[in-house]
Amino acid sequence: MSVRHGEQDAQAFWPALLSAVRQACGTSGEEPSTATPGFNGRVMADRVLSELAGHCGRVVVVIDDAHELNCPEALAQLARLLVDLPAQAHAIV
């Protein structure tokens, strides 16, 4: 997935990443709304990790233009996601 120029919205970043992971893994699921007052980046990062952990094959997550992500919360959760990647998942950032 590509991060939009000057992205400052975790509510846009996490659903896009979850969608990209689901597409790569060949799974589907209910897409979370990006305009939710109770949005929780940690929960979204956990959903992405769960999707990756449930995938039997090897998967590579590519996040292009990550330097454009200018949201401290999203960056903190992304760092946690990268540290906690399942063994069959790899990331290129």
2 belongs to a structural domain: no
The predicted model gives 60-70 an average pLDDT of: 93
Whether residue 28 lies inside any domain: the answer is: yes
Residue 59 resides in a domain: yes
pLDDT value at residue 9: 86
Output 39 or 37, whichever has higher pLDDT: 39
Query: Which band of pLDDT confidence, cut at 50, 70 and 90, is reported for residue 36?
Result: low
pLDDT beyond 60 at 34: no
How many Å apart are CA 74 and CA 20, to the nearest integer?
16
In a domain, 27, yes or no: yes
Range of the domain at 76: 10-92
- Whether 3 is in a domain gets the answer no
pLDDT digits over 45-62, tens only?
999 999 999 988 899 999
Q: What is the DSSP string of the chain?
A: -BPPTT---HHHHHHHHHHHHHHHHT---PPPPS--TT--HHHHHHHHHHHHHH--S-EEEE-BTGGG---HHHHHHHHHHHHT--TTEEEE-
In a domain, 1, yes or no: no
Residue 33 has pLDDT above 50, yes or no: no
Looking at this protein, which amino acid is placed at residue 6? Answer: G
Going by pLDDT thresholds of 50, 70 and 90, the confidence category of residue 29 is low
Q: What is the pLDDT of residues 10-26, one digit of tens each?
A: 888 999 999 999 988 88
Rg (C-alpha) for the chain, rounded Å, is 12
> Total structural domains in the chain?
1
